[in-house]
Amino acid sequence: MLTPFAELLAGRDDGAVGAFTCYDLEAAVAVLDAAATRGSGVILLIGGKVFAGERGPLLLAAMVAVAERSDARACVQLDHCQDLGAIAAALEQGAGAVMADGSELPFEQNIAFVHRAVELARACGAGVECELGGIRGDEDVARAVAAGALTDPGQADALMERSGADCLAVSIGNVHGTYRDPPRLDWERLAAIRACVEQPLSLHGASGLPEPMIERALEAGIAKVNINTELRRAYLVATSAALPHVLDGADITALHDAQIRALREVAVDKLGALEGALR
Q: Which positions touch ligand 13P (CB under 6 A)?
A: 21, 79, 139, 176-177, 204-207, 226-229
- The angle that helices 252-274 and 229-247 make with each other, rounded to 10 degrees, is 150
Kindly tell me which of 33 and 79 has the beta carbon lying closer to ligand 13P. Answer: 79
Using an 8 Å Cβ cutoff, are 49 and 82 in contact?
Answer: no
> Interior CA angle at 22 toward 18 and 26, to 5°?
110
Task: State in Å, rounded, how far the first CA of the chain is from the last one.
Answer: 23
Kindly tell me which of 15 and 177 has the beta carbon lying closer to ligand 13P. Answer: 177
Please state the closest distance from residue 39 (CB atom) to ligand 13P, in A: 23
Kindly tell me which of 40 and 255 has the beta carbon lying closer to ligand 13P. Answer: 40
Q: What is the CA radius of gyration of the chain?
A: 18
Kindly tell me which of 163 and 174 has the beta carbon lying closer to ligand 13P. Answer: 174
| Amino acid occupying residue 2 | L
Please state the closest distance from residue 234 (CB atom) to ligand 13P, in A: 12
Strands (E), the chain: 17-21, 42-46, 74-81, 97-100, 127-132, 144-145, 167-170, 178-179, 201-203, 222-227
Task: Give the active site residues.
Answer: 79
